[in-house]
Amino acid sequence: MSSEMLPAFIESSNVERKQSLSEDQEKSQKPRLGERFEPISKRQMKKLIKQKQWEEQRELRKQKRKEKRKRKQLERQCQLESNLDGNDRKRIRRDVVHSTLRLIIDCSFDSLMVLKDIKKLHKQIQRCYAENRRALHPVQFYLTSHGGQLKKNMDENDKGWVNWKDIHIKPEHYSEFIKKEDLIYLTSDSPNVLKELDESKAYVIGGLVDHNHHKCLRLFWNIWKPETGKKHFLLSCPNGKELYPQTKPVKVLHMI
> Known catalytic residues?
210
Q: How many CB atoms lie within 10 A of CB 239?
A: 6
Residue type, 233: F
Euclidean distance between CA atoms 139 and 103, whole angstroms: 7
Euclidean distance between CA atoms 89 and 57, whole angstroms: 47
Euclidean distance between CA atoms 190 and 231, whole angstroms: 9
Euclidean distance between CA atoms 48 and 45, whole angstroms: 5
How crowded is the C-beta side of 171, counted as CA atoms within 13 Å? Answer: 5
CB under 8 Å to 240, separation ≥6 — which residues?
A: 195
Asked if 112 contacts 218 with a C-beta cutoff of 8 angstroms, the reply is no
Taking the mean position of all CA atoms in its chain, how far away is CA 112? 35
